[in-house]
Amino acid sequence: MNLTFSDFIDLRIRQPYKRDELTKFVQDIEQLQLPDFDSLPEITEEEKQIIREDFEYKKARIGLEDAWLEASEAEEPVPILRDTVVILMEVKDFIKKVKDDTSDDNIFALEKDWHRLSTKEDQAGILPNCILSMTEILFTEKKESAQQKLKEIIRERLKLDFEWPSLDGNKYAVSVYKSFVDYLRSVNAFSNGNSGHPLFLEVFVEPYANQFRYHFMSKRQTNLISKPEWFYEYLLKTFRSLRAFFLNLRKCEADSFFFLFSDFILMLNDLVKEKLSHIAKYDDYLVHLTHETLHYTVHLKQYFGSDHDYLIDFLFCQPSIYDKWLNLEAQQMNAKLNDIKSSKDAWDMAVDQANDYNFTVPTKTTIRFRDMMESTYATLRLLPSFKYKRDFFEKVQLEPLQQYVQWLQSFYEAHESSQSEALPGSLQLGRQNETTEVERMCKLYSNFHLLKNWIDDYEDEEIYIEIGSHYGHKEHSAFFVMKNRIDVLKKGSFRLILRAAIQMLQPLVNDYADIDTWVIKEQPLNVDIATSPVSSEILKIQSSLRNLIRTLESLLSGASLREVIYQLGIIVGNWFVKIIMSHQFSLRGGIQYTRDIMQILLEFSYYPLLTFKKLTSSIELLSLDLGKEMTIRSFIKAIKDDNHQVVDQVLKEKGIELQYSEVLDVLYRRVEAWKD
């Protein structure tokens, strides 16, 4: 090259080197004669600024037609400055090192030289940009060549020491690992390659990445977009099989086991990201893909301590994927909810699961909705960020819960506002009997009770407390408002059970009260009277009461059953006390009434909390016979005269637990109280 320094600079400004001219670039630099550095004048920063502006103007004119230039304007030569010469001197030295270094052992020293050279600045702005860019290309090719040779060495050493890639980490002695690690250090195999990961890992991951591509990124039968669990299971199996290998590297005090193993996982996860980007385009598979990705991420954290690469974040950051996934989850929940509500056996009892609950026998609707909600909780728990969890709760849990409660509430309101036994929708039973309405209300109560219990079980979970705080419900869960609403409906449906029971029994009791046959002309007591059968009317009440209690026992249990029976017993007891207080009784009529009442009380015998003290004491007074020593009138007089000793003795003997005024009220219903 016979160009002067100025002409060389001028030429390469006008005609920059092309990428395929690397050989020519090297030759030109080698042949370039640089001026003597000491002979160059030192100039001030102000002079450099003037030269820089003039040179920029010159470069701006390059390419303009001569006709546009003034004929008298002469082209001035490129100025020669110390800064430019220094950089070119270093470029020449660097190129010489690259050519002379044939062993590839000093690539890391060259990399340091290149880093220092690339940061050099020609303050005058004269050096053509192509000079450093071509130098970088030269270094890059050298580096890649050296790395390829080093990678081949690592491959051979892995095969020699461990029969890689089919290695068993526990098969080899620690000394083998120690020798291997020492060798890797000696060749700088733990330094980063072009991927940003250690060269050793770039080599180590190759067969496993290739196998992944072969099975899951080609036209093989294993590459099914509907089966993301297949490639996730392959990866987990690979990680499990190689964990011992990386653990033994750690024992040799190599780079941190977590660092190497985590990097290895990240490198294979980069392939997973390609799969996610592809499968996420298909709406039919997005929900399943998301669930499998969540499970995979959790397994990585649980089994391998890798929690810094949430693939779910990558998936949700794809354009429109996050909103689409939420909507698809909500659509699936709505479809399931509609299936639950419209199924023909929705209101049948799930008897096989009755032992799981201590308050009621659940309906199949109850069980299916519970299972549906619990499946969403599993997904909610796996989501990595609060935003994801809050959005999922609102869209996929809260909205279906509100719809379900509203659906149940429509049945509740239809019954509450109507005296009719018929209800709309699938709650209407196919068969009709005297306990039909009670069954309906028990099933409705079962749903509200289970919903409240389900919320009670889950509302203490940290995520629900956190969401509740976000809504402003301090120290309350995200279900705070819904729980109060469900509790009101639960209590209301409980009252409707009692109302249905009352509507079933009260007409029979009213009919019984209307017979009014308890005032019979007095006859001497005899065996026939004392053993006469109970009235036919009370047998109807007893039969219906027995059916009612059996129905309640088949649909409720535990505290709910006891509370219903207790409230029912109080109501029934008050009915029969009211009959006493509105009718007159002869002794024979009182005995008959007492025998009838005992038939009723027999149905409550399994519920000892119901003592019926007022009723049993009252019927004892109706059939009270004090013999010839004392008449009913004289006994009434003893009470009025405050002859407590006599009165208390009688009351104690008969087991009567009433106030004196209450005793008088009952005795006044005896016809003997008014006879002379």
CA pair distance 500, 417, nearest whole angstrom: 13
Q: Which residue has the higher pLDDT, 550 or 138?
A: 550
Angle (deg, nearest 10), helices 107-118 and 129-162:
150
Per-residue pLDDT band for 248 (boundaries 50, 70, 90) equals: confident
Q: Which amino acid is at 142?
A: K
Nearest Cα residue to 230 out of 288, 281, 283: 288
Q: Which residue has the higher pLDDT, 67 or 279?
A: 279
Per-residue pLDDT band for 418 (boundaries 50, 70, 90) equals: low
What per-residue confidence (pLDDT) applies to 238? 94
The burial of 199, by beta-carbon neighbours within 10 Å (0-12 exposed, 13-18 middle, 19 or more buried), is given as buried
Q: Which residue has the higher pLDDT, 118 or 572?
A: 572
The burial of 593, by beta-carbon neighbours within 10 Å (0-12 exposed, 13-18 middle, 19 or more buried), is given as buried
DSSP tag of 198: B
Per-residue pLDDT band for 564 (boundaries 50, 70, 90) equals: very high
Contact between 580 and 612 (Cβ < 8 Å): no
Share of residues in the chain with pLDDT > 90 (%):
39
Nearest Cα residue to 334 out of 388, 404, 412, 408: 404
Per-residue pLDDT band for 599 (boundaries 50, 70, 90) equals: very high
What per-residue confidence (pLDDT) applies to 337? 94
What per-residue confidence (pLDDT) applies to 13? 79
Cα angle value 305/309/312 (rounded, 5°): 115
What per-residue confidence (pLDDT) applies to 529? 46
Q: Which amino acid is at 541?
A: I
CA pair distance 535, 511, nearest whole angstrom: 12
Cα angle value 204/210/216 (rounded, 5°): 135
The phi and psi torsions of 26 (rounded to 5 degrees) equal: -65, -45
Per-residue pLDDT band for 310 (boundaries 50, 70, 90) equals: confident
Mean predicted confidence (pLDDT) in 226-253? 90
Whether 644 shows a pLDDT value over 80: the answer reads yes
Whether 233 shows a pLDDT value over 80: the answer reads yes
Mean predicted confidence (pLDDT) in 405-432? 67
DSSP tag of 434: T
User: Of 256-260, 349-353, 628-632, where does the model show the most confidence?
Assistant: 628-632
The burial of 357, by beta-carbon neighbours within 10 Å (0-12 exposed, 13-18 middle, 19 or more buried), is given as buried
CA pair distance 574, 577, nearest whole angstrom: 5
Q: pLDDT tens for residues 434-477?
A: 888 999 899 999 899 988 988 888 888 888 888 888 887 666 77
Per-residue pLDDT band for 352 (boundaries 50, 70, 90) equals: confident
CA pair distance 590, 400, nearest whole angstrom: 59
CA pair distance 237, 95, nearest whole angstrom: 48
What per-residue confidence (pLDDT) applies to 291? 95
Q: Which amino acid is at 291?
A: H
Per-residue pLDDT band for 424 (boundaries 50, 70, 90) equals: very low
Which pair of structure tokens corresponds to residue 69?
């230039």
Whether 299 shows a pLDDT value over 60: the answer reads yes
Whether 197 shows a pLDDT value over 70: the answer reads yes
What per-residue confidence (pLDDT) applies to 103? 56
Whether 528 shows a pLDDT value over 50: the answer reads no
Mean predicted confidence (pLDDT) in 534-547? 92
Q: pLDDT tens for residues 548-557?
A: 999 999 888 8
Which conformational region is residue 253 in: left (phi greater than 0), alpha (psi within -120 to 50 degrees), or beta?
Answer: left
Residues making up the chain, counted from first to last? 676
CA pair distance 313, 51, nearest whole angstrom: 53
What per-residue confidence (pLDDT) applies to 454? 87
Count of other CB atoms within 10 angstroms of residue 676: 3
Which pair of structure tokens corresponds to residue 655?
């087991």
Mean predicted confidence (pLDDT) in 660-673? 91
Residue 224's SS3 state is coil
Mean predicted confidence (pLDDT) in 592-614? 93
Angle (deg, nearest 10), helices 536-555 and 436-458:
30
Nearest Cα residue to 593 out of 584, 602, 603: 584
Mean predicted confidence (pLDDT) in 479-505? 92
Mean predicted confidence (pLDDT) in 205-229? 94
What per-residue confidence (pLDDT) applies to 165? 87
SS3 track for 655-674: CCCCCHHHHHHHHCCEHHHH
Per-residue pLDDT band for 53 (boundaries 50, 70, 90) equals: low
Mean predicted confidence (pLDDT) in 370-387? 91
What per-residue confidence (pLDDT) applies to 403? 94
What per-residue confidence (pLDDT) applies to 119? 83
CA pair distance 519, 670, nearest whole angstrom: 9
Per-residue pLDDT band for 422 (boundaries 50, 70, 90) equals: very low
Contact between 572 and 545 (Cβ < 8 Å): yes
Mean predicted confidence (pLDDT) in 375-379? 91
Whether 374 shows a pLDDT value over 80: the answer reads yes
Mean predicted confidence (pLDDT) in 488-496? 94
Share of residues in the chain with pLDDT > 70 (%):
86
Torsional sign, CA 15, 16, 21, 24: positive
Whether 426 shows a pLDDT value over 90: the answer reads no
| Range of weakest confidence among 254-258, 277-281, 533-537 | 254-258
Contact between 452 and 486 (Cβ < 8 Å): yes
- CB neighbours of 150 closer than 8 A, spacing ≥ 6? 104, 187, 188, 189, 199
Residue 231's SS3 state is helix
Contact between 98 and 25 (Cβ < 8 Å): no
Count of other CB atoms within 10 angstroms of residue 611: 14
What per-residue confidence (pLDDT) applies to 421? 43
Nearest Cα residue to 555 out of 362, 340, 388, 386: 362
Q: What is the mean pLDDT of the chain?
A: 84
Residue 363's SS3 state is strand
Which pair of structure tokens corresponds to residue 17?
């080197």
H helices of 383-435, where? 386-392, 399-416
What per-residue confidence (pLDDT) applies to 2? 63
